[in-house]
Amino acid sequence: MTPRWVVYDEPAGGGGGGPWDPSQLSALVAWYKADSLTGVNDGDSVSSLSDSSGTGNDLTVHDANATPVVRTGALNGLNIIEWRAAATTLRNTSSTVFRNVPGLARALVYRQPDTATINADSVSTDTNNNYRFFHQLTVSNTQRHRTKRLVADSYNPSFGTTHGGTPAFTWSIQVDFADFSVPSAGGTSDGTLATQVSIVTSGSTEDTATVVALGGTPDGAGFDVDIAESIYANSAISAADREKLEGYLAHKWGLAGNLPVSHPYKNAAP
């Protein structure tokens, strides 16, 4: 029998395993996707959001009488979650996110309608907002990414980046990371790296449960903000994984135009 040869293109991401996604992060600890809300109508209340990481850090709304809503097909044909009129946060009050860890990382796709200082997402040790990490867009249109290793530490310096584009309702991809062994922390805004800063490393690592909140603060206070996806890792991530996260989010949500021309995944997803 004459042998037949088959020629095929390997899927993006390499290894024959298909396109890259956050499930391939070894330290993935929580993953929230607005597009996981299926069988819903535009404007339906969102009272809970499943954790797609498999670790069980599901979110529920702080106040069932003040829920955010789903907006169907609102970004690249996919669902997003919208907070308005003091809708309260989606949160988990007993998670293991960022608990006793050597570092942390978080990726976020979001937009907000104005430049008032606002929390898009937060991780706290309690519902009184004793933050381990938070992300804000300030009145000066600057992203603020802040973290601390221990609850007892003071806040480390902001590792901020100027938010590109028009402030009002501009979708943005943010990736933040901290390595407590170096020690340093930093972040990117739409694939552009901010200056990294030194952070505290003294003392033991934090061993208390954390509160994860989307759409505002851990005490339940929500703000006017839209969120498409938020991903958490309980370790610092490599530059290569950070770029893959940015590429994955950019192409999934139709935001590849936000990435700089030098980004390795500007033209194709990882």
Q: What is the pLDDT of residue 181?
A: 78
With H, G, I as helix, E, B as strand and everything else as coil, classify residue 34. Answer: helix
- Reported pTM: 0.88
Instruction: Check: CB of residue 235 under 8 Å from CB of residue 23.
Output: no
Distances (CA, A) of 149 to 109, 260, 262: 24, 31, 32
DSSP 144: E
CATH number of 24-258: 2.60.120.200
**First and final CA of the chain: distance in angstroms?**
39
Digits of tens for pLDDT over the chain (270 positions)?
A: 444 433 333 334 444 457 999 999 989 999 999 999 999 999 999 999 999 999 999 999 999 999 999 999 999 999 999 998 889 999 999 998 888 888 889 999 998 776 666 778 888 888 877 888 877 776 666 667 777 777 677 665 555 555 544 445 688 898 988 888 777 778 888 898 876 777 766 666 677 788 999 998 899 998 889 999 999 999 889 999 999 999 999 999 999 999 999 999 999 999
Task: Give dist(CA 172, CA 111) in Å, integer.
Answer: 6
Q: Where are the beta strands (DSSP E) in 158-262?
A: 161-162, 172-179, 184-189, 192-193, 210-214, 225-233
The string of DSSP letters for 154-173 reads PPPPP--EEPPS-STT--EE
Can you tell me which residue has the tokens 């590849």? 256
- β-pair partners for 144: 136
Instruction: Check: CB of residue 143 under 8 Å from CB of residue 81.
Output: no
Q: What is the pLDDT of residue 85?
A: 80
With H, G, I as helix, E, B as strand and everything else as coil, classify residue 27. Answer: coil
